[in-house]
Amino acid sequence: MTQVATEELAAELAGPLRPLTLIESAGVLGGLRYVELRLFTVLGRRAPIATPAEAALWAASASLAAVRRAGELAVLLPVSKGLPDADTLTRPPGNLAEAALADLEAAEAERTLVARTAHPLYAALAGAYGSRADAAAPAADAPAAAVLSRLAADVARQLEATEQTLRSTW
């Protein structure tokens, strides 16, 4: 994927850049959670068999970070009667996300896996979390904005570590 595709993916993940209704917000957060859970699965599956050792350590760490972020997103999902539950809301956010995740799963070489995680996925996630936090309504969405800002910083650090792994390992 190109840089333009990364920006398009970030826009798909972030949803409309305005304060959202409860249902809209739950849909966007559920989509982000879906991506994080897929990262957890794909990277966790590869960690025990990845070579060299640096790639295995990276995949294990990245997998655990993704499931932790998914957990933080889960607590932001609504739990009120009459609203969709977390499992219903945790669904693909769109075609670009599905394509990027399919490309990641199809990566045969570890270097390709690491590179495809960095760009477009981590770059898009960092942008989406930051954009979603910036677009939140200050009064209604302050707790969600705080979590999303923290997740944006976390993914940005993960992107930096992933790029360092690429530089130092291959």
What is the C-alpha to C-alpha distance for residues 91 and 98, in angstroms, rounded to an integer? 10
What is the C-alpha to C-alpha distance for residues 52 and 169, in angstroms, rounded to an integer? 8
Q: What is the pLDDT of residue 1?
A: 43
Structure tokens at 119: 């760009």
What is the C-alpha to C-alpha distance for residues 46 and 60, in angstroms, rounded to an integer? 8
The 3-class secondary structure across 84-148, one letter per residue, is CCHHHHCCCCCHHHHHHHHHHHHCCCHHHHHHHHHHHHHHHHHHHHHHHHHHCCCCCCHHHHHHH
pLDDT for residue 4 is more than 70: no
Q: Can you give the CATH number for the domain in which 49 is found?
A: 1.20.1260.10
Which sign does the torsion angle of CA 77, 78, 82, 85 carry? positive
What is the C-alpha to C-alpha distance for residues 120 and 101, in angstroms, rounded to an integer? 10
- Residue 115 CA neighbour count, 13 Å, CB half: 14
Cβ neighbours, 10 Å, residue 65: 19
Q: What is the pLDDT of residue 123?
A: 98
Number of domains, the chain:
1
Q: What is the pLDDT of residue 139?
A: 85
The residue range of the domain holding 82 is 3-169
pTM score, whole prediction:
0.96
Instruction: List, for residues 25-72, the tens digit of each pLDDT value.
Output: 999 999 999 999 999 999 999 999 999 999 999 999 999 999 999 999
